[in-house]
Amino acid sequence: MGILNLTPDSFYEGSRVSQEGKLILETAEKMISEGADFLDIGGYSTRPGAVDIPAEEEILRVAPAIELIKKEFPEILISIDTFRSEVAKAAIGSGADVINDISAGDLDPEMLNTVSKLKVPYIAMHMKGTPQTMQNYSGYSDMLPEILKYFAEKLDQFRKLGIKDVILDPGFGFAKTKEQNFDLLRDLKCFKVMGFPLLIGVSRKSMIYKTLQISPSEALNGTTALNMFALLQGANILRVHDVKEAKETVTLFEQLYP
């Protein structure tokens, strides 16, 4: 899953794409040619302390871009990275195929009903608080059982609403300290008990660049190392800024475990 951010303030500068149609299509084409199965399009930065923007602005950023990409590359799957039901609805109407929600329905009471009505696949991520406050919510009495319980309750809620096509994302960097992120990655296999595909997003995140004392722009090697570990632990989808390198990692993994 290639990350295509239509935001001016995403934490990794290299992932930011201008609103200009030509640049959007060039970025999409590059990721698709490098082997992306999905493009994850977002118009709201969820980095720690990100600026809150109105839903109308988010829609204006993502809907035209989705239409443009789908027209040019109709075969590519597009996920809309949003926690707002109205943005999700507009994006699916513009041609998106999947809803990727960092809050698993917690930040918008209408989101799960919207997913149920639209009958599209749903990526549910674990987070506490909001993008503006999540760093204050990294306290857990026992993190792994708490996250597993959270997902078990969510999956029960999804079943009751008829939401069956679900992908789980443990939420690296969201309401978790650097150390907790590594604990989570180390125990990733525990989530396989849920019986749903796992999406992992560690690409160029602070758990890598702070540990290595480098910048996000220098964190590709560390990302590749952790992506391979995630695949060994049962990850099904890698959400990445660098598609070519991630695709090579997957190819080598599949050669090791055909």
In this predicted model, what pLDDT tens digit does every residue of 18-39 receive, in sequence order? 566 788 999 999 999 999 999 9
Which member of 61, 128, 176, 239 is catalytic? Answer: 239
CATH number at residue 20: 3.20.20.20
- By the 10 Å C-beta count (0-12 exposed, 13-18 middle, 19+ buried), 75 is classed as exposed
Q: Is the pLDDT of residue 131 over 90?
A: no
Q: Report the DSSP pairing between strands 166-169 and 199-200.
A: unpaired
Active site residue 22: no
Looking at residue 46, its pLDDT comes to: 77
* Residue range of the domain that includes 138: 2-256
Which member of 61, 70, 205, 247 is catalytic? Answer: 205
What's the CA gap between 81 and 40, in Å, rounded? 6
Q: Name the CA radius of gyration of the chain, rounded.
A: 17
Reported as a single tens digit per residue, the pLDDT across 234-258 is 999 999 999 999 999 999 999 999 9
Q: Closest Cα to residue 58, out of 38, 77, 79, 82?
A: 82
Is-above-0.85 flag for pTM? yes
Residue 134 three-state SS = helix
The count of structural domains within the chain is 1
Phi and psi at 184, nearest 5°, equal -65, -45
- By the 10 Å C-beta count (0-12 exposed, 13-18 middle, 19+ buried), 149 is classed as exposed
Mean pLDDT throughout 2-9? 83
Active site residue 176: no
